[in-house]
Amino acid sequence: MILVTGGAGFIGSNFVLDWFREHDEGIVNVDKLTYAGNLTTLKSLSHDTRHVFVRADIGDAAAMASVLAQYKPRAVVHFAAESHVDRSIHGPAEFVQTNVVGTFTLLEAVRAYWNGLDEEARLAFRFLHVSTDEVFGSLEAADAPFSETTAYAPNSPYSASKAGSDHLVRAYHHTYGLPVLTTNCSNNYGPHHFPEKLIPLMIQHAIEGKPLPIYGDGRNVRDWLYVTDHCSAIRTVLSAGRVGETYNVGGWNEMANVDVVGLLCDLLDELKPKAGGSYRDQIKFVPDRPGHDRRYAIDARKIERELGWRPAETFETGLRKTVQWYLANQDWVQGVTTGEYRTWVETNYSQRH
């Protein structure tokens, strides 16, 4: 069995579902079920004995020790994190608590558990920490993409808190010998994405006839990674990655935000045409957010060279699958867009009109 933290969130739930398409090995899934955690995403596993769900906070030392002692996992895959940059600007304390203190508490519990294993189990054990390219800061247009040796330069409370967690994971390997692996990924997209992030937010606003708010001039560039490609990369690193190493995971798909929204509108014009005009007519530029990084780009050659991994989806194929999924799963979307979420979107974007 493996232990997955944050397995009811966007990437975590996709990883859990994808895992059982590839493996019969069980998962104990630990999630606090904050606003972004959604068990309905995992309803297909409700009677699957391979999947055990535990509602707990990674910052609860006693709960983490209990889960580890009871289920005796051979590995931990650590997704659990607060991850929305805008939310971190409005309320940074929660990001420090979850991403830094929570990761520290989890590492302490895992270290104690690992120290109690027999020699064979200790050698086989892995702690895989899932992080972000945002820890590296911002690139200029002509700069080389981020590599595994790029210096950290986080620019938001979110990215600073993730950088802190990365440093703790590294320190627990070098100080205590804990067998860790770290992945730093680019922007994920795909099914089951909470509709506060760019792509699902724009899909929902478009079909609901609302403005499509784009920060600044829209030329901020991101590398886009389809979520199931990310899941396959994590499985690859978990099974074959070298202990103590970091692997950048990217989609080789750099694109400006305004171009992403334009492609979304074109797909919606094709798949769900509206009467009179294009969805592009709903695009509205709004004042930029504070400290908005200009460009992220991932150099993912190391994971390809050492482990043979490359993404299977292009941005065009992945985006089409994503739009089709959201159009076909409006019940899921309506189920997660609670009053709290609607209040958040209104608070964030009304200030930028």
Q: What are phi and psi of 91, to 5 degrees?
A: -150, 75
pLDDT at 347 over 90: no
Q: What is the pLDDT of residues 219-258, one digit of tens each?
A: 999 999 999 999 999 999 999 999 999 999 999 999 999 9
Tell me how far CA of residue 168 lies from CA of 1, 102, 108, in angstroms.
25, 11, 10
Q: What is the pLDDT of residues 55-109, one digit of tens each?
A: 999 999 999 999 999 999 999 999 999 987 888 899 999 999 999 999 999 999 9
pLDDT at 340 over 70: no
Q: Which residues contact 180 (CB under 8 A, 6 or more apart)?
A: 126, 127, 128, 129, 169, 170, 172, 173, 243, 244
Average pLDDT for 312-332: 96
> Mean pLDDT over all residues of the chain?
94
3 state DSSP class of 7: coil
pLDDT for 195 equals: 84
pLDDT for 346 equals: 66
pLDDT confidence band for 349 (50 / 70 / 90):
low
Q: What is the pLDDT of residues 35-56, one digit of tens each?
A: 777 888 999 998 999 999 999 9
Q: For the ranges 78-92, 174-188, 329-343, which has the lowest average pLDDT?
A: 329-343
**What is the residue whose two structure tokens read 């911002």?**
138
3 state DSSP class of 3: strand
CA 217 – CA 270 distance, rounded (Å): 26
Kindly list the domain boundaries of the chain, sorted by start residue.
2-190+224-255+295-313
Q: Which residues contact 28 (CB under 8 A, 6 or more apart)?
A: 1, 2, 3, 4, 52, 54, 67, 71, 73
Whether the Cβ atoms of residue 92 and residue 66 lie closer than 8 Å to each other: no
pLDDT at 348 over 70: no
Q: For the ranges 33-42, 163-172, 267-276, 344-353, which has the lowest average pLDDT?
A: 344-353
Give domain 2-190+224-255+295-313's CATH superfamily.
NAD(P)-binding Rossmann-like Domain (3.40.50.720)
pLDDT for 36 equals: 76
Long-range contacts (CB closer than 8 Å, 24 or more residues apart) made by 302-307: 302/147, 302/148, 302/247, 302/248, 303/233, 303/236, 303/237, 303/247, 303/248, 303/249, 306/242, 306/247, 307/236, 307/237, 307/240, 307/241, 307/247
Going by the DSSP 8-state scheme, the letter that residue 276 receives in this structure is S
3 state DSSP class of 344: helix
Q: What is the 3-state secondary structure (H, E, C) of 180-234?
A: EEEEEECEEECCCCCCCCHHHHHHHHHHCCCCEEEECCCCCEEEEEEHHHHHHHH
pLDDT for 334 equals: 86
pTM summary value: 0.93
Beta bridge partners of 222: 255
Which sequence positions are flagged as catalytic? Answer: 133-134, 158
Average pLDDT for 312-326: 97
| Size (the chain), residues | 353
pLDDT at 343 over 70: no
Residue 13 CA from chain centroid, whole number:
10
pLDDT for 196 equals: 80
3 state DSSP class of 343: helix
CA dihedral (132, 134, 140, 141) in degrees, to 10, reads: 40
CA 265 – CA 203 distance, rounded (Å): 8
3 state DSSP class of 139: coil
